[in-house]
Structure 1
Amino acid sequence: MSENQFVWHCYFLELFAFRYVRLLYHIYSFWFLYRPAKIPQHPTYSPADISVVIPTVNPRNDDFEECLSTCLINKPKSMFIIGGGLQIEDIEEIVHPLRSNYHETEITVLSTKVANKRFQIARAIPFIQTKITVLLDDHVFWPSPNFLQTVLAPFEDPKVGIVGTNKRVRRRKNCTIFESIWNMLGALYLERHNFEIRATNAIDGGVFVISGRTSAHRTEILKNDDFIKGFTNERFFFRRFGPLNTDDDNYITRS
């Protein structure tokens, strides 16, 4: 083996060692260091302290009504549904029967002129009166009527400003091979996401992103004027280019 080959072998072994030592430590952190927040016997917050914000560009999608129902069964104080592109009539048609079935929650339908998730979220923020705001994507289902109680538990710590959730993909049945493979890849992606966030957070308290599929926030953070300005007009390269309209959850996590 030449000296040059030996050097490249050393580089490879260093990278290999780093990759799998890191994996082993993450496994240890995931299972033994992470401690979920416990639900207190006398919690400070309840679902009555929560507003849910749901931006949508396609209220006629197959999942939208189920998304709303699994949310409403948790009895949040308020729900704000914001259509992108003035879709109020379509949304109201879906929401109308839900208002009578879930009367504990005040449902408000708003809209923006353009379909832009950041602008849609910002449209609802001035109307929110509760202490906690949950951002929810329009194709996400909550697993149980007790979901919000578990989400609220970390807020018992006054230093906590944002709470993430564990995510799963529904496994589809009676679909094509391609659809089944795509479904499996989505499931693996979210499992890796859960693993990475839980492991790294247990190590140093950090997290690379809180997924916007379902995330809970102290409302005072979202109502901050500087946050709104940056959220709706995020720019890059010394603020010369933009605004950016993607990865809203990354911006919120950084803020």
Structure 2
Amino acid sequence: MADVIFDIVVSQISQPNHISSLHRYVRTLGNFFSHWLYKSFSKTLKPSFTANDVTVIIPTIHNNFEELRDPLQSILACQPFELLLVTTTDKYEKLVNFTKSLDASNIRVFHVQIANKRKQVCEAIPKVRTSIIVMADDDRIGAVGPNQRVKRLRSGPLPALIFNWLGAAYIERRNFEISATHGIDGGTSCMSGRTCAFRAEILKSPLFLHGFKNERWGQYHLNADDDNFITRWLVANKWKTWIQYNKETEIETTLENNIKFLYQCSRWARSNWRSNYTSLFTERHVWKQQIWCTYALHIATFTSLSFVFDPLIIYLAIKASSILPGNWPQYAITIQCIFMLWTKIIKLVGLFSREPLDIIFLPVSILFGYFHGFIKVYALLTLRMTSWGSRPDGETNDNERMTPRACRSESINLPKGDYPDLIRYKKYTNFLPNIINFSRNEKKDFLQPKISIITEKIPTSSEKL
């Protein structure tokens, strides 16, 4: 009997209609083992860099700067070499006066004309004088480090507690996924914009600054998704990334505890659609450098719609098990449902281990997972939207985040191709004639011809007289 059942199961799994199930759960199993085997780098006795080699950049558009006091004091307690704050011109004086109350000599404040994170960052980067740059968001973070936690509410109305837990679960899943993909091939779809450390030589590169300020999305200049751009730039230039997934490098952040959390989810979903499409089909570096990450994160953006795939997988399981004898169809469906439930819990084990009572929110998490699929579809249909939706100061100059590109200027018409003397450029063509042999000096002179500059002699005062 066991041999018969095994043959039936193998024959059913090999059918094309089970590819969706394999695609969905192979990445879950792979990430599961990688996450729990993941180890951060240990602290060395003689580190290559110290706090004195670090500059922290914070672009801020806060209306109430007093909300920044705790996170700024937390950052200053780490004793960085310098803290650079960049705001808009109309808030500059107010921010300068606020920083004086912090009683710190290593703070400098800059300003730009409009509220735009990319422009604010580019304003500060050339002023950096250290080897490491830490990019920190101003959303009331608690410390510097890439391991994230959401500040929990311990009391309040039930809707606020539910939204707070959904935010904590969202960040916990993200920690799970990026630690897992880093453990396998060192890849991730996005290094967090909340807090992240970069080598200054990367961000100060003129090519980076130009691309950072001039990214395009279709017919538009894109000024949102700055953290996605930086991540893709690192991949394109073959820089490695890492996640310190431990308590010592943990930051505490806040998300919305009301209906505005859904606006945050839609904004993140739009960024994922835009950036992952660019990674897969425009730049395409990830296909060779981060194979597992490409499968588990980038492609998953286009396929992880639970409200579509979960019913489909259940239907296929019922259809596949219908030919099994006796009660085996019921056993097969039960096992499938238990496995699907396990996949929805495994990413939250860390959260449940810290907060055991959070298990009461598990049904909410499962239902929200299906609802989030509709948020992703809505985000796909509204890719040109860049508004925050969750904070009033975040809407300042929103019209600058995606602006139409300038029209290409009119160019002259090329002559017809029947002119024998017409010089045409051909890619990979060697323009040096093969029949001419140059010595090293002659070749240098040939490739770098001298340019004669004719200048008019300016008469001196005596000559004028």
- With the shorter chain as reference, the TM-score category is 0.7 to 0.9
Corresponding residue of 2:121: 121
Q: Distance in 2 between matches of 1:218 and 1:122?
A: 15
Corresponding residue of 2:220: 242
Q: Distance in 1 between matches of 2:78 and 2:231?
A: 25
Report whether the alignment pairs 1:251 with 2:224. Answer: no
Corresponding residue of 1:162: none
> Aligned to 1:13, which of 18, 33, 37?
18
Corresponding residue of 2:164: 183
Q: Distance in 2 between matches of 1:93 and 1:10?
A: 68
Deviation per CA, 1:30-80: give whole Å up to 9, x if none. Answer: 111x22112110111101001000011115156311111110110000011
Output the aligned Cα RMSD. Answer: 1.9
CA contact (8 A) 1:51 1:130 kept: yes
Q: Distance in 2 between matches of 1:47 and 1:59?
A: 30
Q: Distance in 1 between matches of 2:174 and 2:89?
A: 32
Report whether the alignment pairs 1:78 with 2:82. Answer: yes
CA contact (8 A) 1:71 1:141 kept: no
| Equivalent pairs, count | 221
Q: Distance in 1 between matches of 2:205 and 2:66?
A: 35
* TM-score, normalising length: structure 1: 0.81
Q: Any idea what SS the aligned residue of 1:79 has?
A: strand
Q: Distance in 1 between matches of 2:88 and 2:114?
A: 5
Corresponding residue of 1:158: none
Q: Distance in 2 between matches of 1:195 and 1:14?
A: 24
Spell out the pairing of 1:83-232 with structure 2 (5 A cutoff).
Answer: 83-98=87-102, 100=103, 102-103=104-105, 106-143=106-143, 165-232=146-213
Q: Distance in 2 between matches of 1:48 and 1:206?
A: 29
CA contact (8 A) 1:60 1:90 kept: no
Deviation per CA, 1:181-205: give whole Å up to 9, x if none. Answer: 2211111111111111110111112
Unaligned runs of 5+ in 2: 1-11, 234-465
What letter is aligned with 1:16?
Answer: S
Deviation per CA, 1:195-223: give whole Å up to 9, x if none. Answer: 11110111112111101100100001111
Deviation per CA, 1:72-99: give whole Å up to 9, x if none. Answer: 110000011111343112212221121x
What letter is aligned with 2:179?
Answer: R
Q: Distance in 2 between matches of 1:127 and 1:17?
A: 50
Q: Any idea what SS the aligned residue of 1:167 has?
A: strand
Q: Distance in 1 between matches of 2:177 and 2:118?
A: 26
State the structure with bigger RCO (CA 8 A, min sep 6), 1 or 2.
1
Report how far residue 16 of structure 1 moved: 1.9
Q: Any idea what SS the aligned residue of 2:70 has?
A: helix
CA contact (8 A) 1:84 1:112 kept: yes
Corresponding residue of 2:241: none
What letter is aligned with 2:220?
Answer: G
CA contact (8 A) 2:65 2:95 kept: no
CA contact (8 A) 1:51 1:77 kept: yes
Name the structure where helix makes up a greater proportion of residues.
2
Report how far residue 113 of structure 1 moved: 0.7
Q: Distance in 1 between matches of 2:16 and 2:175?
A: 30
Report how far residue 11 of structure 1 moved: 5.1
* TM-score, normalising length: structure 2: 0.45
Shift in alpha-carbon separation, 1:111–1:81, aligned structure 2, 3 A: same
Q: Distance in 2 between matches of 1:57 and 1:175?
A: 28
Corresponding residue of 1:4: none
Unaligned runs of 5+ in 1: 1-6, 152-164
Q: Distance in 1 between matches of 2:156 and 2:210?
A: 44
Percent identity of the aligned residues?
37
Q: Distance in 1 between matches of 2:232 and 2:203?
A: 13
Q: Distance in 1 between matches of 2:174 and 2:66?
A: 25
Deviation per CA, 1:95-151: give whole Å up to 9, x if none. Answer: 1121x2x44xx10011111000000001101110000000101124334xxx5xxx6
Q: Distance in 1 between matches of 2:168 and 2:67?
A: 17
Shift in alpha-carbon separation, 1:85–1:184, aligned structure 2, 3 A: farther
Deviation per CA, 1:152-204: give whole Å up to 9, x if none. Answer: xxxxxxxxxxxxx1111001233322222221111111111111111011111
What letter is aligned with 1:109?
Answer: V
Q: Any idea what SS the aligned residue of 1:125 has?
A: helix
Q: Any idea what SS the aligned residue of 1:111 has?
A: strand
Question: In terms of Rg, which structure is larger?
Answer: 2
